[in-house]
Amino acid sequence: MKEFTYVITDPEGIHARPAGLLVKAAAGFKSDIKIEKDGKAANAKTIFGVMGLGVKKDMEIKVTADGEDEAEAVEALQKFFNENL
The catalytic position among 4, 10, 13, 15 is 15
3 state DSSP class of 29: coil
Concerning whether 15 is annotated as a catalytic residue, the answer is: yes
By CB atoms closer than 10 A (0-12, 13-18, 19+), residue 68 is: exposed
φ/ψ of 55, rounded to 5, equals -75, 125
Task: Catalogue the active-site residues.
Answer: 15
